[in-house]
Amino acid sequence: MELKNVKDAFDRVAKKQKLCYSKTQEVVDRLSQEINKALDTIHEDNHESVVADLKKTFEEISPINQLEASQKEVNGALTKYPKALDKTLNPDISTAYRNIEFDRHTVHQIIAQFFYRQGMYEIGDSFVSEIGEPELVESSVTKAFMEMNMILEAMGKRDLGPALKWVASNSEKIKEAKSDLELKLHSLHFLEIAKDKNSKEAINYARKHFAAYSDSCLPEIQKLMCSLLWNRNLVKSPYSDFLSPVLWTNAAKELTRQYCKLLGESSESPLSVTVAAGSQVLPTFLKYLTVMPEKRQEWQTMKQLLVPVELSEEYRFYSVFVCPVSKEHSSEDNPPMRLGCGHVLCKQSINRMSRNGSRSFKCPYCPTDIDASQCKQLYF
Amino acid sequence: MEIDSATNGNSDAVMTESTATITPSPVVVPSSRSNQFTESLKLEHQLLRVPFEHYKKTIRTNHRSFEKEVSTIVNGVGELADSDWSKDVTVSRLTSLVTRLQGLKRKLEEGSNVENLQAQRCRARIDHLDSVDVENITEWNNTKLKRILVDYMLRMSYFETATKLSESSNILDLVDIDIFREAKKVIDALKNREVASALAWCADNKTRLKKSKSKFEFQLRLQEFIELVRVDTADSYQKAIQYARKHLASWGATHMNELQHVLATLAFKSTTECLKYKVLFEPQQWNILVDQFKQEFCKLYGMTMEPLLNIYLQAGLSALKTPYGFEEGCTKEDPLSQENFRKLALPLPFSKQHHSKLVCYISKELMDTENPPQVLPNGYVYSTKALKEMAEKNGGTITCPRTGLVCNYTELVKAYIS
């Protein structure tokens, strides 16, 4: 994003502020000097005239005016920065907020579950005690994730022991789910052994654990074995990819997915998913309401979003057919229909374009002439 | 999901034409992922604004106190020149002015240190926004969620959790614990039915409150007046009237109705059963003051009125809310499969999506250009991969798993979904 404006505006504030500070310092120093000078001469001179001179000098310096002048510059910069912010960022993201209050207890439960699920036990404990509901989360949920977090924590320290142990005891189910988690973990372990320059041990390990995957993952195994040739200097080999920390994050992700699947829970925390989805769609909401302020009232009561949103793939969990013409979701009353040419539209769009079947129309995607009566309903 | 590219140019033109007549939607939604992310960074106004307001406040307060001190010293010299003190007194006065200047210099330095720290915090946040890229996006989003949670804790005054969470996640520079501590003092006092610190806060921020036409101070004063009426002793009414003359009269010009309403309590006493006045004496009034203070406070620092968490949750739930999420046996991955999330989503609108997404009934795999949908003679649609696999196993015949229809693989036709 273009943050240069913001940065520049802030630099200006900081610079003017520094200038103003040194100016103030200068003024103070000057005043001290003058008084000290007066004190030096006062013993020899008529003290009244010395003080009168001092007063005059002070008036000439006019310190207050000097301070005010430099503060004025600071103030200019201070008013400009918020303007730069307003221009670059969305000044108020609550514009798209519907005025309903969430049930606090429910929100608290969601938050507490998040903490326990992520393995942030101490924070979770602190939270439930601070809101005064120590029994908020069932301990079974907490315990279920405890082992997973332990495994992940160990993996974070490059220790695969607990992960391999868990995989071994759930091997059947993981294979059923068609997950390559087991191979992923074995490969990582293999690479760790190889990294310690112990080729023989690595080969033994490979013989023991890789053979089972010879059908499905042969190219992968070939690469791994071949990498042994460079195990003294993998960085400068064709297999430097094997050093990437991404392998570890991917394995951890896959482990989380499988673990949660066996638990019957979602693989991502539902709170993270919802907030991430919110970040994706809020800009669209805000833009819509800025362009169409007259819709703000309707926004408070709408039954379906007034503006279509673009969620990334991982947050769309169901089959949805959106008519490319009307942008409406298909439904029982408005089912998807396949035109003779193979393109698919919703029934209502076809009715509209064919004037209720009274004439043929051109497919919006190809030059075929379409007879509405030849369109066929689809079931996804 | 795209149809073949040759037909694409055509489709855009037709679509804009037809949408104009059906659903007017002038908003162009950014399509690429990175663009989407840039857009979501624009939601971070509060992150940059709040520390800046704090910084600005410090600068202004420091300026004012320096200026005051300097002018006192200048005046001191002026007075000295205009009066006829002995030499000794003059010397000692001058010496004390020098000491004062030295004190001022020290204060200047301290003030500048505080300002620098606050400026650093502002910079750290700009840098944080700037630091995001494709590599660290997951981590950045995790941090964002934690920031949002800390914001929630602080607004609810759960300081311990807020502090622990920010310390363990190393995000102290990105959250506003110290600013909320300032609010906590006032909130605690109000909960103890004391207005003094709230009034002090009002005095501190007088200009800004006046600019936003805040009547918070007026409401505090009204409450104090009510408390004087509540006491109900011989001289308390006298005191209440005096108080009203001193502190309430000036608000008459702008808030006459409320003023009259509250002053009428003089006639009704705290034991009144008249609903309109009874309510003024209820303890609930203090909670209202707390809420009002929170609002004023948030406004002053450029925060959203609602906790960020509520805003994001609401938007996210609306985006995710589909009729399917409320069905039995829906996927666990959908937050709306959970009771708690369903409860929150209940009063919210259903989602509306831009593009189709089709999942194969048989294999649960996505049907896209890699694995396009195929249509059976009865209109049922499955993915090519699943159908091919079935045909290979059964000598070229397909059995529709939902209707039992049997057909040949060669009878299938393609469907183009855009």
In angstroms, the separation between the Cα of residue B272 and the nearest Cα of chain A is 32
| Pair A116, A124: CB distance under 8 Å | yes
Q: What is the mean pLDDT of chain A?
A: 86
Strand partners, A320: B357
Out of A92, A131, A266, the one facing B332 most closely (by C-beta) is A266
B315–A379 CB contact, under 8 Å:
no
Compute the average pLDDT of residues A57-67.
89
Compute the average pLDDT of residues A27-52.
87
The more confident residue out of B331 and A15 is: A15
**B356 interfacial to chain A (CB closer than 8 Å):** yes
**B11 interfacial to chain A (CB closer than 8 Å):** yes
A310–B119 CB contact, under 8 Å:
no
Residue B32: per-residue pLDDT: 59
SS3 state at B210: helix
Q: What top-level class would CATH report for the domain A318-380?
A: alpha beta
A310–B353 CB contact, under 8 Å:
yes
| Pair B226, B272: CB distance under 8 Å | no
Residues of B in Cβ contact (< 8 Å) with A354: none
Compute the average pLDDT of residues B40-55.
93
The whole-angstrom separation of Cα B332 and Cα B313 is 18
The whole-angstrom separation of Cα A11 and Cα B139 is 28
| Pair B351, B330: CB distance under 8 Å | no
SS3 state at B398: strand
Residues of A in Cβ contact (< 8 Å) with B13: none
Out of A28, A102, A273, the one facing B335 most closely (by C-beta) is A273
B415–A122 CB contact, under 8 Å:
no
Flag the least confident range among A20-29, B31-40, B55-64, B245-254.
B31-40
Q: Which CATH architecture has domain B355-418?
A: 2-Layer Sandwich (3.30)
Residue A43: per-residue pLDDT: 80
Spell out the long-range contacts of A225-230 with Cβ–Cβ below 8 A and sequence spacing 24 or more. A227/A191, A227/A194, A228/A194, A228/A199, A228/A202, A228/A203
Task: Band the pLDDT of B33: cuts 50, 70, 90.
Answer: low
Strand partners, B93: none
Q: Which of residues 149-188 of B touch A (CB under 8 A)?
A: 149, 152-153, 156, 158, 160-161, 164-165, 168
Which amino acid is residue A70, in one-letter code? S
| Pair A17, B59: CB distance under 8 Å | yes
How do residues B362-385 score in pLDDT, each as one tens digit? 887 888 888 999 999 999 999 999
Q: What percent of chain A has pLDDT over 70?
A: 98
Task: Band the pLDDT of B6: cuts 50, 70, 90.
Answer: very low
User: How many angstroms separate the most distant Cα atoms in chain B?
Assistant: 122
SS3 state at B63: helix
The residue extents of the domains of chain B are 43-131, 181-300, 308-345, 355-418
Residues of A in Cβ contact (< 8 Å) with B102: 32
The more confident residue out of A235 and A270 is: A270
Residue A164: per-residue pLDDT: 85
Q: What percent of chain B has pLDDT over 70?
A: 92
Strand partners, A362: A369
pLDDT surpasses 80 at B13: no
In angstroms, the separation between the Cα of residue B1 and the nearest Cα of chain A is 11
Residues of A in Cβ contact (< 8 Å) with B308: 93
Which amino acid is residue B380, in one-letter code? Y
B353–A308 CB contact, under 8 Å:
yes
Backbone angles phi, psi at B260, to 5 degrees: -60, -45
**B322 interfacial to chain A (CB closer than 8 Å):** yes
CB pairs under 8 A between A and B: 420
The whole-angstrom separation of Cα A260 and Cα A254 is 10
Out of B87, B161, B344, the one facing A47 most closely (by C-beta) is B87
Q: What is the mean pLDDT of chain B?
A: 86
Task: Band the pLDDT of B23: cuts 50, 70, 90.
Answer: very low
As a 3-state breakdown, chain B gives helix, strand, coil percent values, each rounded to 5, of 70, 5, 25
Helix or strand holding residue A345 (H, E): strand A344-346
How do residues A163-208 score in pLDDT, each as one tens digit? 888 888 888 888 777 777 888 888 888 887 777 767 777 787 877 8
Residue A46: per-residue pLDDT: 82
Residues of A in Cβ contact (< 8 Å) with B87: 42, 47
Chain B residue with minimal CA distance to A290?
A: B27
B25–A265 CB contact, under 8 Å:
no
A364–B123 CB contact, under 8 Å:
no
Strand partners, A338: A344, A376
Flag the least confident range among A140-144, B135-139, B185-189.
A140-144
| Pair A263, A146: CB distance under 8 Å | no
**B113 interfacial to chain A (CB closer than 8 Å):** no
* Cα dihedral across residues B200, B205, B210, B214: positive or negative: negative
Strand partners, B380: A379
The residue extents of the domains of chain A are 4-88, 109-130+141-263, 270-300, 318-380
